[in-house]
Amino acid sequence: MSKKKKGSIEVVCGPMYCGKTEELIKRVTRAKIAKQSVLVFKHKIDVRYNIEKITSHSKIELESIPIQRSSQILETLKSNPSTDVIAIDEAQFFDNDLPNICNKLADKGIRVIVVGLDLDFRGEPFGPMPILLSIAEKVDKLSAVCNNCGKPATRSQRLINGKPAKYNSKVVVVGEKELYEARCRKCHICKRKSNK
- Catalytic choice (10, 23, 90, 181): 90
- Give the C-alpha separation, 54 to 60, whole Å: 8
- Give the C-alpha separation, 107 to 102, whole Å: 9
Catalytic site includes residue 90: yes
Residue-wise DSSP of 29-44: HHHHHTT--EEEEEET
117 closest CA partner among 44, 48, 8, 21: 21
Catalytic residues: 90
